[in-house]
Amino acid sequence: MTRNQDLRRPLAAVLRVLAVAAAYFVAGQLGLIQQIVVAGAKVTPLWPPTGIALTCLLLLGLRIWPGIALGAVAVVTAIGPLHPASFGIMAGNTAAPIVAYLLLRATGFRSELDRLRDGLALVFLGAGGMLVSATVGVGLLRLADSVPADDFWSAWSAWWTGDAMGVLVCAPLLLALYRFRLPEDAGPFDLIEPVVLLAGTVLVTLAVTNTHLSLLFLVFPLLIWAALRFQLIGAAPCVLLVSVLAITAATAHRGPFAQRDVLQTMVILQALNGASALTGLLLSAIIAEQQSMYRRIELACLGLTEVVARLAPGEGGPGWPHPEDDGRPRL
């Protein structure tokens, strides 16, 4: 190994850490655009940094955790003046995705998300790991008297669901984009269906989030269509669009979120976001697993056909008599 190669390795590691920190910070700034105050604590219904942090850990490994820590410090510092609880919140926001990553790794999680078990693991362990950040964050705010004791669980649930939605909405999309490759034979007409699907998702979501009628369920046929036809690379962008447009309507108190108190708004919003994310993620995983099974069966049948063909009568296979051989000795 040359001297230049010795220098490039640590430089590349530093650049990866800084890139992760920058991505975390930018995602945090985007998440802070749509904040909701719950029991004295400012929370976001969708916190993208958790999805970015977990994705980076899954793809790059535990060595990039300093980037997550730097990003968490930058986000908390940018929000406002620091106080003693801020440092604990930074630590909790750093530890949560690390805990989720370690739990997923212990179960043999595959980032391709092409098995139902991986989808369920992301739901229960990936989103479950965010209990750390919610508990630490709201607990410290309670100790600082920023959150009243009677409102602790409301603030805690809002914090946790926001972090969990960041995992369930953003991580599948990032993992799908990382592995997506456009087919070499793809033509312009192949883009018509996905474009129509994305446009339809936007139009339907805008319609159901701007009417007082309870029509939020109308987004699910589009999510099912996306998962069946394109698996995760199709379903994940649709889920993100539904979540962002629903959050926009909720923060503006439009449609089904009008004349609702904060708790009711969060329940309706996160029920929609969670159901959308689970529909896209789990159905895509089921379809991908079935297709993988069909391919394995097809390959096994093809291999068996080749074996039978080699042993077929007249082909000279061992133990197979010639069709004209009646078993009698010939002169």
Residue 36 lies in a domain: yes
**Alpha-carbon gap, residue 138 to 131, rounded angstroms:** 11
Kindly state whether residue 317 falls inside one of the protein's structural domains: no
**Number of Cβ atoms within 10 Å of the Cβ of 308:** 11
* Residue of 39, 291, 297, 316 lying closest to 158 (CA atoms): 39
CA dist., res. 204 & res. 68, Å (int): 36
In a domain, 268, yes or no: yes
Q: Mean pLDDT over residues 293-299, rounded?
A: 89
Residues 6 or more apart in contact with residue 30 via CB below 8 angstroms: 48
Question: Amino acid letter at 184?
Answer: E
State in Å, rounded, how far the first CA of the chain is from the last one.
75
Q: Which residues contact 233 (CB under 8 A, 6 or more apart)?
A: 176, 177, 180
- Structural domain includes residue 136: yes
| Mean pLDDT computed over every residue of the chain | 89
Q: Please state the rounded mean pLDDT for residues 149-178.
A: 93
pLDDT score, position 311? 82
Could you give the CA distance from residue 258 to residue 249 in angstroms, rounded to a whole number?
9
Q: Is residue 104 scored above 90 in pLDDT? A: yes
Mean pLDDT value of segment 268-291? 95
Average pLDDT over residues 11-23: 93
Domain count, the chain: 1
186 inside domain: no
Instruction: Answer whether residue 148 is part of any domain.
Output: yes
In a domain, 183, yes or no: no
pTM of the model: 0.88
- Alpha-carbon distance of 155 to 96, in angstroms, equals 17
Instruction: Annotate 162-189 with DSSP letters as a single string.
Output: HHHHIIIIIHHHHHHHHH----TT--GG
Domain that holds residue 202: 8-177+191-308
Could you tell me if residue 200 is inside a domain?
yes
Q: What is the pLDDT of residues 188-234, one digit of tens each?
A: 778 899 999 999 999 999 999 999 888 999 999 999 999 999 999 99
